[in-house]
A = this chain, B = another copy of it.
Amino acid sequence: MLSKKTQYAFHALTYLAENHSKGPILISEISQERQISLKFLENILLELKKSGVLGSKKGKGGGYYLIKSADEIPLAKVIRVLDGPIALLPCVSLNYYEKCENCQEEICGLNRVMADVRDNTLKVLENKTLKDILRNR
């Protein structure tokens, strides 16, 4: 399941996309409009900024804004930033690979199937973007 963090991230990002024309948006505005704890949201937006999804501006007239257009941000990107691996096993993760304990990959039949699951999941999450989850359509 997606963590609250990731769910909040999507709510915040869609808000930013829908109000893109207004320029930088305050954290506090997003917090109020989308009912997300202010301080928690701060962390989330900061992580999204550090990973290149958002830009920010300090001081009066500042706020957060999308760096790319909504259809250039795959859902997989957001999930990886906030939740980490998308695969069901560390040993088949593309971006967060780790060796499984207690399981020799050559004879463990689980990894082949889980790589299959991963590919089918990513087929959706890599191709669907922020634009696909916007409200006003």
Contact = CB atoms under 8 A, between A and B. Distances in A.
Nearest to A89: B2
Interface residues on A, range: 35 or more
Contacts of A125: 117
A109 B17 CA distance: 13
What is the total number of copies of this protein in its complex?
A: 2
Interface in A101-123: 102-103, 107-110, 112-114, 116-117, 120-121, 123
B133 A102 contact: no
Nearest to A137: B109
Contacts of A120: 120-121, 123-124
Contact of A11 (B14, B102, B121): B102
